[in-house]
């Protein structure tokens, strides 16, 4: 009985590990905190907006090759919404385009060799984005 239970536990752990997603977010130090927004309203941008805005933090995802672009976009929106963002500026996209999109906008000097997507979560009308 214990052997069967051990096998089941190992199989469940392997299944959970294979289903785990590499997604996350982090606030920038000193960035204001907002209540979460509705993910369906978060804009995905490929360039820095011209409207006044605040940079809230970063969102990242390491998509699986089998995921559709729509699924990946929805996951990015969900993570950005947790920060209270109204938009997400994609700064690194090594999954769909294999290129850095907005390098001057990003505060970090990291180079990603993995197939990841990184975005800066922003909120409009609250301040300047270049501070």
Buried b (16+ CB within 10 A) or exposed e, 83-96: bbbbbbbbbbbbbe
Residue 87's contacts (CB-CB under 8 Å, 6 or more residues apart) are 42, 43, 44, 45, 49, 53, 80, 121, 122, 123, 124
CATH topology of domain 21-124: Translation Initiation Factor IF3 (3.30.110)
Q: What digits encode the pLDDT tens for the residues 54-110? A: 999 999 998 888 888 899 999 999 999 999 999 999 988 877 755 555 555 555 555
Structure tokens at 83: 């920060």
Q: CA 27 to CA 127: how far, in whole Å?
A: 16
Q: With the CA atoms of 72, 73, 75 and 78 taken in that order, what torsion angle do they form, in degrees rounded to the nearest 10?
A: 180
Q: Is the pLDDT of residue 113 over 90?
A: no
Domain boundaries, the chain: 21-124
**Which of these ranges, 27-31, 46-50, 90-94, 117-121, has the smallest mean pLDDT?**
90-94
């Amino acid at each position: 009985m214990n052997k069967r239970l051990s096998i089941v536990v190992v199989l469940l752990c392997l299944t959970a590990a294979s289903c785990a997603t590499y997604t996350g977010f982090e606030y920038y130090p000193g960035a204001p905190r907002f209540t979460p927004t509705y993910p369906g309203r978060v804009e995905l941008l490929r360039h820095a907006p011209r409207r006044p805005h605040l940079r809230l933090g970063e969102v990242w995802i390491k998509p699986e090759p089998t995921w559709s672009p729509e699924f990946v976009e929805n996951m990015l929106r969900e993570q950005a919404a947790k920060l209270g963002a109204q938009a997400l500026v994609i700064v690194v996209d090594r999954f769909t385009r294999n290129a850095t999109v907005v390098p001057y906008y990003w505060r970090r000097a990291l180079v990603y060799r993995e197939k990841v997507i990184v975005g800066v979560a922003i909120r409009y009308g609250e301040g300047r984005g270049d501070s």
